[in-house]
Amino acid sequence: MSRIEIAAELCKACELCISVCPKECIEQSDTLNLYGVFPMRMRDGAECTGCTMCATMCPDAAIEVYRTVAEKTRNQEVAK
């Protein structure tokens, strides 16, 4: 399963990533960052597909997407 990592200190909590996530994998943290806002985080138990829409939408490049090898292979087979 894919996963995302959000750099809490880069996130300004604009919530654009939440608005584009098709699987609702992102939620607001309960811990303040240096900006004094509650940054986003990956929701526990979320089933991220690795679509990269959140990372593409993030204006601060605070999100990194990690896909599993099995998903990369499956995506390549579908593309054929």
Q: Which domain holds residue 48?
A: 3-79
**CATH number for the domain harbouring residue 70:** 3.30.70.20
Question: What's residue 1's pLDDT?
Answer: 84
Q: What's the mean per-residue pLDDT of the chain?
A: 92
Residue 20 has which token pair? 């584009």
Question: What's residue 73's pLDDT?
Answer: 61
Question: What's residue 13's pLDDT?
Answer: 96
Answer whether 0.85 is exceeded by the pTM.
Answer: no
Question: What's residue 23's pLDDT?
Answer: 97
3-state secondary structure 1-47: CCEEEECCCCCCCCCHHHHHCCCCCEEECCCCCCCCCCCEEECCCCC
27-80 confidence digits (pLDDT tens): 999 999 998 999 999 999 999 999 999 999 999 999 999 998 765 566 666 666
Q: By the 8 A CB rule, do 5 and 68 touch?
A: no
> What domain count does the chain have?
1
